[in-house]
Every structure is written in structure tokens, then in C-alpha cells.
Structure 1
Amino acid sequence: MLDALVHQGKFGEDYVRVLASAAGLLVSKDDVDHDGVDLCIKLPGQSLRGWAPMIEVQIKTTSRPRRRAAAFDYDGLNQKQFNRLAGANFVVPRYLFLIIVPKDAAEYAALNTGGLLLRDVGYYVSLRNEELIEQPSSAKHVRIDVPTANVLTVNTLRRLISADPDQDRG
């Protein structure tokens, strides 16, 4: 059996892979997580943005979400991780995906006559408009507001890849 946190993180990545597959998108993973990117998600072929537009994502999971008004307060990124997602100086748009998972790993998935149910829900946020932290520390964490309206679905995943990153403020 996997360590509980490794299991939770793997499920989060697999959750995103399932959504990308359902959306008809391609998923790849760098051989080393050097740049703070867990997955690259690409639309195959030509689109309004050109050939094979893609996004890069950092996936985080939590089984104890802290909701405040219309957002989750997420404190799981340290300052160095934050700087790998923040600002507009990326060729490929980057997003933070927050996957809310059940506390009990036995509840991650359920099969019934209607199909396979993955629990619970994923959310996304762009940190493109955030200022970089000068002299970032891996010991200090940054609070990220992840809007509850930014639900990660097949359609929103396609939109994130197809949209002009300068127009997407999510």
C-alpha cells in the first residue's frame, strides 16, 4: 500500500487525467518535477490559438478544505512553489489545481450501475496576476484563494487550454 499522502497525491493526478481523457485531451508528465509542473495537458491538432495549445498544472490535494465565503483558503504552497506558478512570464499558461478528496481513501471511487464516481471535486486558479515573492523561502507558505466557482470539469479544462491566457482571470 502507498503512504496515505502519496496515495492522496496520486489520486489527485489521476482525477485530472480522467477529466482530460474525457475531454479528448493529451496528458504528459516531465520525467522530473523540476519546474513545479505535475502535468502538461494539450489539445491535439489545430485550434484558434494555433497548433496543440497546452497548459501546465501543479496539482495539490486536500481532505480538509477550509472554505471561506466563495473561496477555499489553501495554504499548501510554499513561496518557492508559488513563484513557479505566479506572474505572466510563462510561455505556457500555468494553473494550480486543487482536488478535494475524501478523508477515507476507500471513498475515492465508487462503482454502481450508473458508472464510476470519482470523489470529490477539483478546482482551478490562475496565479498569472500575482506578484512574485522576492527571496522566496521553501519554509514559508502562501495563502491562495481558490474560488469555489472555478470547478474543474471537462468543459472548463477545454476552455483553459483554448482561452487566451490574458483574458482568463480565473
Structure 2
Amino acid sequence: MNKNVHQGLHGEGFIYALACAGGFTTSRMNLDIDGVDWQIAHPGPRGTTRSPRIEVQVKSSSAPRIKDGEIHHSLRVDHFNHLAGPGFQIPRFLSVVIVPTAAEEYAICTDRQMQLSTAAYWISLEDRETLPTEPGDPASVSVRIPTRNLLTVETLGSLLAGDRAGDRGGATR
């Protein structure tokens, strides 16, 4: 399997495992043409919302650039624009999964546990403006994701509840 495809598959599996561990339902998009890999939902009411759901675009990196408590992830402008701005009926998030460089370290199994390596982080881009895609414009944008936005079963539940505390990353071209 191509290394990048394998890495991406692990990243998506990481998000799927978190959702399953939280007891959330998942739906994999059959085509990635609208910037969404997974839809994650809470089965039934959560607080005052009935059956809340979110959509997630999953990216992965085996060599993340981390500076001043932020992951600097390069994202194609068209992928950024699928996530940026207001108006989505279902909230959208970018998740970057940091993966080991060696595929054999993706999942370490013993008779007591399976450890998925390494960690996932999230950010909402709803407060960002979409970017122009005219010829001559940069093809990518640097998205800064705070390392405090660690994606866990608990934070995934909070995102489903509409709580985005701590989401203060940025984007620069």
C-alpha cells in the first residue's frame, strides 16, 4: 500500500475508534467531494439537542510542525474552503492525526489492550473567511491548531454538544 494512503487510513481509523469508544454513531462519506470524511452523531438527545451530529475532515501527518503550542498544518485551499465560513447546517471540523513514521507502530497490540498511535487534534474553521482560488493565488494555507485541542472521547462529546472551548487556532497563507 502507498505510504500516504496507509497513513491516511490510520488517521481515519483513529477518529473512527474515538467515536466508537464514545458510543457515537458514524457514517463514512462514499465520496470525498465536499470536504467531509466522517459524520459523527450522538444517538438520541444530548442536552437540549436531539441527535446532534458533526462532520469531520481527517488529515494526517508523520512530521508535524509544532511551534508555540500550535500544530502548523498545510492544507490545500480548496480543502480549507470546504470547512471555512459560516452557514453549514451541520458543524464541520478539521482533525489532524499525528501518526508515527513507521507503519508498524500505528497499532501496538497485547493480550490486554490495543494502543493506537499517536494523537488527534481538532479545529473549527467556521470563523474564517473562505479564500480566493484564482490563478496565481497560493494553492495552500497554513492552519494553526492549538495542541490544547486534543481530540478525546470527552472532547468529541463536547463538540457534539456544541462546546468549542479552547478553539483559538488560526490560518495564514
Question: TM-score w.r.t. structure 1 length?
Answer: 0.91
Distance 1:71-1:136 versus aligned 2 partners, 3 A rule: farther
Which residue of structure 1 aligns with residue 103 of structure 2?
A: 105
SS at match of 1:143: strand
Aligned residues: 166
Query: Which one-letter code corresponds to 1:61 in the other structure?
Result: S
CA contact (8 A) 2:148 2:166 kept: no
1: distance between equivalents of 2:118 and 2:30?
28
2: distance between equivalents of 1:85 and 1:10?
20
Query: Which one-letter code corresponds to 2:53 in the other structure?
Result: M
Distance 1:101-1:15 versus aligned 2 partners, 3 A rule: same
Task: String of CA shifts for 1:10-47, please: whole Å, max 9, x gaps.
Answer: 11111111100000000101221121100000001122
CA contact (8 A) 1:79 1:136 kept: no
The answer to whether residue 62 in structure 2 is matched with residue 68 in structure 1 is no
Structure 2 counterpart of 1:116, from 114, 117, 120: 114
Measured on the aligned residues, the alpha-carbon RMSD in Å equals 1.7
Q: How far is 1:117 from its partner?
A: 0.6
Which residue of structure 2 aligns with residue 131 of structure 1?
A: 129
Pick which of 130-139 and 66-75 moved more: 130-139
SS at match of 1:18: helix
Among all aligned residue pairs of Structure 1 and Structure 2, give the percentage whose two residues are the same amino acid. 37
Q: How far is 1:112 from its partner?
A: 2.7
Q: How far is 1:104 from its partner?
A: 0.4
Which residue of structure 2 aligns with residue 93 of structure 1?
A: 91
Q: How far is 1:135 from its partner?
A: 3.2
The answer to whether residue 43 in structure 2 is matched with residue 44 in structure 1 is yes
1: distance between equivalents of 2:152 and 2:49?
23
The answer to whether residue 94 in structure 2 is matched with residue 80 in structure 1 is no
Q: How far is 1:169 from its partner?
A: 6.0
1: distance between equivalents of 2:94 and 2:147?
13
Structure 2, unaligned runs of 5 or more: 168-173
Structure 1, unaligned runs of 5 or more: none
Pick which of 14-23 and 47-56 moved more: 47-56
